[in-house]
Amino acid sequence: MLSGKKILLGITGGISAYKICELIRMYKRANADVKVVCTPNALKFVTKLTLQNLSKNEVSVDEFDVKNYNPEHISLADWADITVIAPVTANTISKIAFGICDNLLTSIVCAFKKPVILAPAMNCNMWENPIIRENLNKLHFTILEPESGYLACGYEGKGRLCSLEKIFEKTVELVNYKPLNGKKIVVTSGGTIEDIDPVRYISNYSSGKMGTALADCAKNLGADVILITACDVKKDYEVIQVKSALDMKSALDEKFNCADCIIMAAAVADYRVKNYSREKIKKTAEDEMTLHLVKNPDILSEICKKRNGAKLPLIVGFCAESQNLLENAKEKLLNKGCDYLIANDISRRDIGFASDYNEVTILDKNGGTVKLNRADKMTIAYKIFEAIYG
Ligand code: CTP
């Protein structure tokens, strides 16, 4: 069930750490490769020797125990297909929620972009503490809630580590979750660049982060991904670097027929200069100068027309609005003819352009709307795929 899968198993300092020895055996029996990372306190409950013998791998604890040239928190984060932390204490939950990287395990989670499972275990009063609940709610991970019963501290209540079978089954489910397997997803991103002369251009503030998150997410969900972007990015999937709106249109035209889904997250310039100057434009004695602009093709509208009523490719547009978000978005969805439109409020500074966070409303062509609350762009990307491929 887990053949060839790489599991990073985090253990923190709670009494149920002793149970995790059995979880390692379950993973190993299912043919997973398991690497254990302990917080220093975890080793007060279980020994490195036991974990090493069971996992057949070295157990890592200290971030600064340098074994090779690569920083260990990054190499381990890159190595694993999934991170499972069991038990996770109130302390580690809170550190992760605030991005504190004061040990190897919390540093790995901070750099980790694939699925994470947290299985908390603690005293029932700690579990009910509103601060812990709030910190847990900040995390967009899979949380396997503790069970009720007799606790090692002598209390009866909710706080026991959930069953190892539950952790094992969730690991199998998430690590094999590839709902976009076999689908070709084309994503556009970034702000197009329209040259004026060899040294000047017209562009916009789009960072390309939402498009990159969508492409990364599609890849994680098993899709074959092509990212057509005006940004400088290197990925382990096909990236086509473009500059202007016209470049983006021709790259997209070329990929149109093979795509199952096209997501237009790019901020395409509506206009380009009419006469590009091959030489640098010199300053004149006049106080004003006029640049003549011509309209760029509306790529989204054109690919929707090109589809000519066919169901595929599925076409998703974005819309950036600074006022009347929903009314403008509904009108755009209708006028452009796409299946979904993701509406972005660019008047807010805490989301959207250049931010790592977003808050969007997904509108579909049948009139449905789904509001996604503020979250990091990767989480928003997962929820967008969940909404369109349900
Ligand atoms: N878009 C496009 N080609 C253009 C302009 C926009 O394909 N020339 C796409 C964008 O990639 C996005 C959607 O259309 O998916 C909406 O972009 P937006 O800038 O919100 O809307 P515009 O159509 O440009 O309208 P306006 O700027 O007037 O709001």
**Which one is predicted more confidently, 146 or 309?**
146
Tokens of residue 24, six digits: 């390692």
Question: Which CATH number fits the domain that encloses residue 310?
Answer: 3.40.50.10300
319 CB under 6 A from ligand 1? yes
pLDDT at 251 over 70: yes
Give the residue numbers annotated as catalytic, written as ranges: 153
Distance from residue 312's CA to the centre of ligand 1 (Å): 21
Q: Is 298 in the pocket of ligand 1 (CB under 6 A)?
A: yes
320 CB within 6 A, ligand 1 = yes
Q: Which atom of ligand 1 is nearest to the CA of 295?
A: 8
Residue 1 located in a structural domain: no
Q: What sign results for the dihedral spanned by CA atoms 375, 378, 384, 389?
A: negative
> Is residue 22 predicted with pLDDT exceeding 90?
yes
Q: Do 170 and 193 fall within a single domain?
A: no
**Tens-digit pLDDT profile for residues 46-101:** 999 999 999 999 999 987 776 666 677 888 999 999 999 999 999 999 999 999 99
- My answer on whether 298 and 193 are in the same domain is yes
Q: Are residues 213 and 133 in the same domain?
A: no
Q: Which of 20-24, 97-101, 224-228, 309-313 has the lowest mean pLDDT?
A: 309-313
Q: What separation in Å is there between the alpha carbon of 268 and the centre of ligand 1?
A: 6
With bands split at pLDDT 50, 70 and 90, how would you rate the model's confidence at 1?
Answer: confident
User: Is pLDDT above 90 for 164?
Assistant: yes
Taking the centre of ligand 1 as the mean of its atom positions, its distance from the CA of residue 332, in whole angstroms, is 9
Judgement on whether residues 190 and 235 belong to the same structural domain of the protein = yes
The answer to whether residues 265 and 147 belong to one domain is: no
Cα distance between residue 310 and residue 85, in whole Å: 46
Query: Same domain for 114 and 198?
Result: no
Tell me what pLDDT residue 84 has.
Answer: 98
Q: Report pLDDT for 130.
A: 97
Pocket test residue of 193, 264, 341 for ligand 1, highest count of atoms within 8 A of CB: 264
User: By C-alpha distance, which of 340, 339, 343 is closest to 323?
Assistant: 343
Give ∠ CA 379-8-236 in degrees, rounded to 5: 55
Could you tell me if 222 and 321 lie in one domain? yes
- Does residue 166 belong to any structural domain of this protein? yes
Q: What is the DSSP string of 269-297?
A: -SEEESS--SSPPPP-SSS-----EEEPP
**Ligand 1 contact, 115 CB (< 6 A):** no
Which residue puts its alpha carbon closest to atom 24 of ligand 1?
270
Rounded CA-CA distance 21/342 in Å is: 45
**Ligand 1 centroid vs 319 CA: distance in angstroms?**
6
Q: For residue 63, what pLDDT is reported?
A: 79
**CATH code of the domain containing 103:** 3.40.50.1950
Final residue before a domain boundary, out of 117, 144, 175: 175
65 contacts: CB under 8 Å, gap ≥ 6: 72
**Does 76 map to a domain?**
yes
Spatial CA neighbour of 192 closest among 251, 145, 124, 130: 251
Task: Determine the pLDDT at residue 239.
Answer: 98
Whether residue 283 sits in one domain with residue 353: yes
Average predicted confidence (pLDDT) for the chain: 94
Angle, CA 322 vertex, CA 196 and CA 192 arms, to 5°: 30
Shared domain for 158 and 271, answered yes or no, is no
Same domain, 145 and 229: no
What is the extent of the structural domain holding 169?
A: 6-175
- Of 30-44, 348-362, 372-386, the range with the lowest mean pLDDT is 348-362
**Ligand 1 pocket, 296 CB below 6 A?**
yes
C-alpha separations of 83 from 14, 35, 116, 225, 382 in Å: 18, 10, 5, 24, 17
Q: Last residue of some domain: 175, 198, 230? A: 175
Q: What is the pLDDT of residues 336-378, one digit of tens each?
A: 999 999 999 888 877 767 788 899 999 999 999 999 988 888 8
pLDDT at 79: 95
Least confident of 89-93, 106-110, 166-170, 175-179: 175-179
